[in-house]
Structure 1
Amino acid sequence: MGVVKSDDKCATVGIQGIAWAFGGMIFALVYCTAGISAGGHINPAVTFGLLLARKLSLTRAIFYMIMQCLGAICGAGVVKGFEKASTFGRLGGGANFVKHGYTKGDGLGAEIVGTFVLVYTVFSATDAKRNARDSHVPILAPLPIGFAVFLVHLATIPITGTGINPARSLGAAIIYDKDQSWDDHWIFWVGPFIGAALAALYHQIVIRAIPFKPRA
């Protein structure tokens, strides 16, 4: 997940192009890996939210997160290998940081809200109660997840470059390895984990409490 997302890149490709690229890729990855990691675990924040909701064990969650981070590091390394050194440096290696004109609080808030939207969409799209009522939901599950990623990118690229995935942020930070990539790095772990926890809490306490009435 090492696609660059700097102001220069936005000027060339456009925020919409970047958002579509991420949303489309997440759709494809979730569709392809859903049967392997029980829902397509490619994001530590999503895994953390599902762990809090008791949908997977602590051991499996830790294993997933380690593999996600290793995959992100490898992906960022591949991007650096294909990119010209001058271009890679000019684009900041795809590392996430709070953009000029915004405070760290703004960045943290954007990551919390963005991750909440993503993780809550995952919960809704894969909810067993809903699957029992609407048989088409499991087939379409990757679509709303990918679309949620697209919308979150549209909203938060100008603020943080859009993290919402701690592994992606970590991979880019390690490969770029400049002060800029580490100054705000904590935001891209704390924000997504808080957003995921809120989504899990909301889904388990509020949504799951709504009585399920099967269709006649």
Structure 2
Amino acid sequence: MEGKEEDVKLGANKYSERQPIGTSAQTDKDYKEPPPAPLYEPGELTSWSFYRAGIAEFVATFLFLYITILTVMGVSRAPSKCSTVGIQGIAWAFGGMIFALVYCTAGISGGHINPAVTFGLFLARKLSLTRAIFYIIMQCLGAICGAGVVKGFEKSIYEQKLGGANFVAAGYTKGSGLGAEIIGTFVLVYTVFSATDAKRNARDSHVPILAPLPIGFAVFLVHLATIPITGTGINPARSLGAAIIYNREHAWDDHWIFWVGPFIGAALAAIYHQIIIRAIPFKARA
């Protein structure tokens, strides 16, 4: 038995750890951590690429709301569950559109399509405050226009089926709805950080990873879990666009949950990924 224990000890120490953890993860010779984005960068306001990125966020969020809310209306309109894609189809519409739109716009704006994602990346100093505010405004405008087009196509069914607006379902408390939005957004934003981690891409360059795929899949899974609770917001622009176009008291009763929850979830994901997973201090660029 004594010899066997020695063999176990030898086996445990024979090979060095393949992936360093904690602060030691910053010692890779072939990787240099990108500097944090400045809080305010005046040059952005005179750059065409800045406005082009905002337009890309507007169009992407417009298309996102158009396809997803139209899918919700189609499911609601069907005479029976057997003749519709159901909740699973709605979840696939949201996740699939995020996959496609992030793929299309990642090279232009980063493919946020969600104020919570923008907020989380801003907290991690991945973009300036100027750009973050501009993105959120354009995302909200795109969402309003997308929901408006859906209402224009089928106004009667849109009014009957609550316009795809988010609210806490009967049988659940506001606390449950808030918790679902916090955790759901945490899953999404944490996935965004992990899928777009520059250090991971440098380390695993031999393993091609299509970042939009895990992001879209995370959206799909969160929708499967939380559609019965809140209709799944995890995107303040999506919730705002549907609420403004539907514009009934029912849509505004719980609306604060779909801003507070996603922003808290995004902040927690940013803190967890940057401080715990990556051990990167939140410091200003020298």
Shorter-chain-normalised TM-score: which range? 0.7 to 0.9
Q: Is 2:104 the partner of 1:32?
A: yes
Contact 1:130 1:137 (8 Å CA) reproduced = no
User: 1:41: how far off?
Assistant: 1.7
Q: Is 2:235 the partner of 1:161?
A: no
Partner SS state of residue 2, structure 1: helix
User: 1:134: how far off?
Assistant: 1.5
Identity percentage of aligned residues: 90
Matched residue, 2:39? none
User: 1:170: how far off?
Assistant: 0.2
TM-score relative to the length of structure 2: 0.66
Q: Give unmatched runs, 5+ long, in structure 1.
A: 85-92
Structure 1 pair 134–186 and aligned structure 2 pair: CA distance change class (3 A): same
Counterpart-to-counterpart distance in 2, 1:132 and 1:201: 22
Partner SS state of residue 4, structure 1: helix
Moved over 4 A (4+): 1-12, 136-139, 210-216
Structure 1 pair 133–206 and aligned structure 2 pair: CA distance change class (3 A): same
Structure 1 pair 215–58 and aligned structure 2 pair: CA distance change class (3 A): closer
Counterpart-to-counterpart distance in 2, 1:6 and 1:191: 31
TM-score relative to the length of structure 1: 0.87
Bigger relative contact order, structure 1 or 2 (CA pairs below 8 A, ≥6 apart): 1
User: 1:25: how far off?
Assistant: 0.5
Matched residue, 1:198? 268
Contact 1:5 1:18 (8 Å CA) reproduced = no
Structure 1 pair 109–60 and aligned structure 2 pair: CA distance change class (3 A): same
Counterpart-to-counterpart distance in 2, 1:10 and 1:159: 22
Task: Deviation per CA, 1:83-120: give whole Å up to 9, x if none.
Answer: 24xxxxxxxx0100000000000000000000000000
Structure 1 pair 177–24 and aligned structure 2 pair: CA distance change class (3 A): same
Contact 1:2 1:76 (8 Å CA) reproduced = no
Structure 1 pair 113–4 and aligned structure 2 pair: CA distance change class (3 A): farther
Contact 1:5 1:161 (8 Å CA) reproduced = no
Task: Deviation per CA, 1:156-204: give whole Å up to 9, x if none.
Answer: 0000000000000000000000000000000000000000000000001
Contact 1:49 1:196 (8 Å CA) reproduced = yes
Q: Is 2:121 the partner of 1:50?
A: yes
Contact 1:125 1:138 (8 Å CA) reproduced = no
Counterpart-to-counterpart distance in 2, 1:43 and 1:146: 13
Structure 1 pair 3–106 and aligned structure 2 pair: CA distance change class (3 A): same
RMSD: 4.7
User: 1:13: how far off?
Assistant: 3.2
Counterpart-to-counterpart distance in 2, 1:147 and 1:119: 12
The size of the alignment, in residue pairs, is 207
User: 1:135: how far off?
Assistant: 2.1
Q: Is 2:252 the partner of 1:173?
A: no
Counterpart-to-counterpart distance in 1, 2:260 and 2:77: 20
Counterpart-to-counterpart distance in 2, 1:13 and 1:215: 49
Contact 1:45 1:165 (8 Å CA) reproduced = yes
* Deviates most, 16-25 or 128-137: 128-137
Partner SS state of residue 111, structure 1: helix
Partner SS state of residue 181, structure 1: helix
Contact 1:97 1:185 (8 Å CA) reproduced = yes
Counterpart-to-counterpart distance in 2, 1:185 and 1:148: 23
User: 1:34: how far off?
Assistant: 0.2
Task: Deviation per CA, 1:2-48: give whole Å up to 9, x if none.
Answer: 997999989943111100111111000000000110x2021000000
Counterpart-to-counterpart distance in 2, 1:112 and 1:7: 34
